[in-house]
Amino acid sequence: MAEGKNKPPYASLPIGEEAAGKAPGRGRLTGKRILIVGGGQRTVDAETDPVGNGRAMSLLFAREEAQVAVADIDTASANTTVDQITSEGGTANALTGDISDPNQVTAMVTQASGAMGGLDGIVLNVGIGAGMGLEGSTPDLWDKVLNVNLRGPMLICRAALPLMEEGGAILFISSVASIKPGSRMPSYDASKAALAGLMRHVALEAERKAIRANIVAPGLIDTPLGRLSTQGRPGRARTNIPGGRQGTGWEVAYAALFLMSGEASYINGQVLAVDAGLSTIR
């Protein structure tokens, strides 16, 4: 019998206050000024969409008393995130920019630092996918994906490091597709795997300023983009995975919160998979 066939279902992990986004803030980022690139989210069904990773991180960081600059290529989406933050009493401002454009990247980082009076942290929550299989991966599609997923984060770090305060943190949002195959998009898988190399370089180069760099690699997460992917691949929603369910954007956000906070002050150059163990099985 082929491995993985007819396995009993996994028991479902409970969804507590944190996983549901209902836990109160605890001041874990008090006074921090953080730029979240990709802090908006795709709208699939406005009435039923769950919170995406970028919006969850933006909201959570603000609840934890950080000042947040929410950047996104979609102005309306960034504004929606900011509106939600301010409605909860948080402090945030919206920025628009295309991270594949060096000039827009420089402007985005400069504006964020200026608006907040400095920069203590950056979260890079960006990623696109295109081209199914090698046959469907044209050179143009390959370049388009890597320009956003890999070149963009490099440009952000290049522009931001000189402006960042000592003791800051940079967090890259990757994917378990960087660890094991599964997305069926070679450009996406390759770009996310290469992100680990970039992260390790940034961790080394920035350590003179005591700036840490790490990665959070989500598994199957229930986000608007994940639901959009499920429409084209119905089996994704039925996948028998550890934890018995998909993760929530809040679960990704809490992992990000830990790595951006002083609680992770001695953690640098590491990859944290948020996948209930999916990356450990074949």
In contact, 268 and 169? CB cutoff 8 Å: no
- Is the distance from CB of 94 to CB of 108 less than 8 angstroms? no
Alpha-carbon dihedral angle through residues 84, 90, 91, 95, given to the nearest 10 degrees: -20
DSSP line for 179-209 = TS--SS-HHHHHHHHHHHHHHHHHHHHHGGG
Length of the chain: 282
Helix, strand, coil percentages, rounded to 5, for the chain: 45, 15, 40
Q: Work out the number of other CB atoms within 10 angstroms of the CB of residue 262.
A: 11
266 labelled catalytic: no
Q: Give CA–CA dist 80/42, Å, rounded.
A: 11
Q: Is 115 exposed, middle or buried (0-12, 13-18, 19+ CB in 10 A)?
A: middle
CB 51 within 8 A of CB 246: no
| Tally: H helices and E strands in the chain | 8, 9
Mapped onto helix, strand or coil, the DSSP state of residue 271 is strand
β-partners of residue 95 are: 71
Point out the catalytic residue in the list 10, 188, 254, 266.
Answer: 188
Residues noted as catalytic: 188
